[in-house]
Amino acid sequence: MSLVVIGTVAFDAIETPFGKTDKIVGGAATYAGLAASYFFDKVKIVGVVGDDFQSEDIQVFKDHGIDVEGLQIKEGEKSFFWAGKYHNDMNSRDTLATELNVLADFDPIIPDSYQDCQYLLLGNLTPQIQQTTIKRLTNRPKLVVLDTMNFWMDVAMDDLLETLKLVDVLTINDAEARQLSGEYSLVKAAKKILQMGPKYLIIKKGEHGALLFNEDKIFSAPALPLAEVFDPTGAGDTFAGGFIGYLAKVGTINFNNMKNAIIYGSALASFCVEKFGTERIKNLTEEEIAGRIKEFVNLSSFVIEQ
Amino acid sequence: MSLVVIGTVAFDAIETPFGKTDKIVGGAATYAGLAASYFFDKVKIVGVVGDDFQSEDIQVFKDHGIDVEGLQIKEGEKSFFWAGKYHNDMNSRDTLATELNVLADFDPIIPDSYQDCQYLLLGNLTPQIQQTTIKRLTNRPKLVVLDTMNFWMDVAMDDLLETLKLVDVLTINDAEARQLSGEYSLVKAAKKILQMGPKYLIIKKGEHGALLFNEDKIFSAPALPLAEVFDPTGAGDTFAGGFIGYLAKVGTINFNNMKNAIIYGSALASFCVEKFGTERIKNLTEEEIAGRIKEFVNLSSFVIEQ
């Protein structure tokens, strides 16, 4: 039984008010895979890189016990590259460069050893590739989580709607929920989106936390108020990876476990933004994670006797 | 022992995407007084109206057991009037008219019978009047809560800073916290503001809930996700009134009671926005409030065994 993550594995060049990086390893599958690995020991990734991806870049996955058999390395080609610059408020950014490279004709290969997949995280990619991935798994996983973004709503809405029919959980941000549903109220938006396929909808609100919708139930998760957000890159992917990793660990899918999974995902994401790229989430200890979870509990708990 | 609320008592004309009203009774003291009255039976208001304010308008206060001895009625003058129109997102509005009228030279009179004030809510008004009110109380109340807005930061920052030194709790929204502190991060903003006088800071984030800061402690309160916000007018005042009303009821000021007070204030505010003006919060039952509190508990509770 394994947890498969498909998504980009990439080089990023990031500039924030706190500094800038050269090309560092990034990508949705990287962040999500690392985050999931803290909770579950059979994480496997599917992705594609060029031969500019060094063996030490791949070593990071191996150090976390992540299976990379599904990570294709294209000789003579270059890895996907993204460069971006965050504004002072850290809530908006400019994309300075997007070089698709190997991603342009990415055809995901699911190794036979991945066919034991029970938890599937479809990281942000074209809906078409996300759909293909589901179909290439012989058995439908127990839980399929899809992450996407406004870009795919702009250019591939039909594909996205088709793919949504096949998943259990959708994670998007509040603006994307409004775009996907055409509703401003998130309650109304959720109601519509839950009729598109997913049984669970997670609306990520960045510094304002996240909302989980399922049938008529709603859970509001806090975000940890941070003095400084150093680099928001990968926070959403890290959230998704921590979320599904925790669910794979507990093994039972229900609303209460989903709530806790959101707290764990949020905790991992709160580490992610403390340093550039994957720097912080590469080296977490169990004690650090437990301490952060305790902060979330203290942050939001109250007792009202009625 | 009483709870005194000072603030505007006014006529409002409101337009939202759902409809519009003629002149209806509004004002910070009106909303806050009504909200507080659900928790505490000795609520007294200080304010000023013109002779256009009818006896049936005042009856609403009396029906809620609110003492109006401190509500001055100026013969031959008109009440403060505000007209506004909300945009489709309900988060922004245009002010169509502001007629100060009696408010222009408002000098608050504190009746002798109000000198037993233990809980003082300084509703949104000029910082000068807020300060005068504190000084006209013979004994410093046990708890002084101040609500203000960006307008006073623009035109009377020095007065506001002087007044802040005299209060225990400040309630403002996130944009105002940033303006007051000059810090974008709310954690950093709170740290600065807590050095300006208040021991507790509540940052209201509308649909994203509220944050409570005290020393190094933070509490994140959820907002109830609503399918429709009918009219946001008075929600902040209602929050403040419910907040201080609950604290007056429990009688002990500490972080845990403040947390619960925020939940009660948020619950009252969630009713306020369901109808125009004070329509909804004029007629709440204990059962409705208890039910709403239960919704807040369900919305945000999770149990993680560590």
DSSP string, B28-88: HHHHHHHHHHTT-S-EEEEEEEETTS-HHHHHHHHHTT-EEEEEEEETT---EEEEEEE-T
Query: How close A188 comes to chain B (CA, Å)?
Result: 6
Indicate the number of domains in chain A. Answer: 1
CB contact under 8 A, B208 and A205: yes
Cα–Cα distance list, A38 to A124, A263, B184, B254 (Å): 21, 14, 32, 37
Counting as low any pLDDT under 70, the low residues of chain B are: 306
Number of Cα atoms under 13 Å in the Cβ half of residue A294: 7
The number of angstroms, rounded, from the C-alpha of A223 to the middle of its chain's C-alpha atoms is 16
Give how far B224 is from chain A: nearest CA, Å: 8
Q: What's the pLDDT at B224?
A: 96
Q: Judge: A263–B302 Cβ closer than 8 Å, yes or no.
A: yes
Residues B83 and B96: their CA atoms lie apart, in Å, by 5
CATH number at residue A151: 3.40.1190.20
Looking at residue A91, what is its pLDDT?
72
Structure tokens, A237 = 């992917």
Decide if A219 and B302 are in contact by the 8 Å CB cutoff.
Answer: yes
The verdict on B215 touching A (C-beta cutoff 8 Å) is no
DSSP-derived pairing of the beta strands B210-214 and B200-204:
antiparallel
Q: Answer yes or no: is B306 within a domain.
A: no
Complex confidence, ipTM: 0.93
Helices (H), B66-221: 127-135, 150-155, 157-164, 174-181, 186-193
d(CA B236, CA B265): 9
Per-residue model confidence as pLDDT tens for chain A (306 residues): 999 999 999 999 999 988 899 999 999 999 999 999 999 999 999 999 999 999 999 999 999 999 999 999 999 999 999 999 998 777 788 999 999 999 999 999 999 999 999 999 999 999 999 999 999 999 999 999 999 999 999 999 999 999 999 999 999 999 999 999 999 999 999 999 999 999 999 999 999 999 999 999 999 999 999 998 899 999 999 999 999 999 999 999 999 999 999 999 999 999 999 999 999 999 999 999 999 999 999 999 999 976
DSSP structure string for chain A: -EEEEE---EEEEEEETTEE-SSEEE-HHHHHHHHHHTT-S-EEEEEEEETTS-HHHHHHHHHTT-EEEEEEEETT---EEEEEEE-TTSS-EEEEEEE-GGGGG------GGGTTEEEEEE-SS-HHHHHHHHHTSSS--SEEEEE--HHHHHH-HHHHHHHHTT-SEEEEEHHHHHHHHS-SSHHHHHHHHTTSS-SEEEEE-GGG-EEEEETTEEEEE-----S-----TTHHHHHHHHHHHHHHHH---SHHHHHHHHHHHHHHHHHHTTSSTTTTTTS--HHHHHHHHHHHHHHH------
CB under 8 Å to B301, separation ≥6 — which residues?
A301
Q: Looking at residue B306, what is its pLDDT?
A: 67
- A17 contact residues in B (CB cutoff 8 A): none
Spatial CA neighbour of B173 closest among B95, B70, B92, B63: B92
Q: What is the pLDDT of residues A66-116, one digit of tens each?
A: 999 999 999 999 999 999 999 877 778 899 999 999 999 999 999 999 999
Kind and range of the H or E run holding B99: strand B93-99
Q: Which of A64, A6, A9 is nearest to A277 (CA)?
A: A9
Q: Which residues, 6+ apart, have CB-to-CB distance to B306 below 8 Å?
A: A290, A293, A294
Which one-letter DSSP state was computed for residue B105? G
Q: Which residues pair with B99 in a beta bridge?
A: B81
Residue B261: enclosing H or E segment and its boundaries?
A: helix B255-272
- In terms of C-beta density within 10 A (0-12 exposed, 13-18 middle, 19 or more buried), how is residue B151 classed? exposed
- The CA radius of gyration of chain B, in Å to the nearest whole number, is 18
CA distance B81 to A263: 46
- The answer to whether the CB atoms of B302 and A256 lie below 8 A apart is yes
B225 backbone φψ class: left, alpha, beta (φ>0; ψ -120 to 50): beta
Q: Give the pLDDT score at A306.
A: 67
pLDDT of residue A18: 87
Residue A306 covered by a domain = no
The answer to whether position A92 is within a domain reads: yes
C-alpha closest to that of B162 among B182, B142, B138, B132: B132
Closest residue to B211, CB basis, from A184, A225, A229: A225
Closest residue, chain A, to B89 (C-alpha): A184
Task: Supply the range of the domain harboring residue A142.
Answer: 2-300
CB contact under 8 A, A211 and B225: yes
Is residue B305 domain-resident? no
Give the side-chain half-sphere CA count within 13 A for A3.
Answer: 30
Residue A56 falls within a domain, yes or no? yes
The alpha-carbon gap from A222 to the nearest alpha carbon of chain B, in Å, equals 6
Provide the pLDDT for residue A87: 87
Nearest to A220 among B88, B260, B300 (CB): B300
Mutate to test the interface with A, among B183, B259, B296, B304 (most CBs of A within 10 A): B304
The tokens 């985050």 sit on which residue? A35
Three-class SS state of B230: coil
Instruction: Give the model's pLDDT for residue B18.
Output: 87
Residue B273, in any domain of the structure: yes
CA dist., res. A8 & res. B33, Å (int): 56
Provide the CA B37 distance to its chain's centre, in angstroms. Answer: 13
A99 neighbors A52 (Cβ within 8 angstroms): no
Test A223 with B220 for CB contact under 8 angstroms: yes
> Is A185's CB within 8 Å of B227's CB?
yes
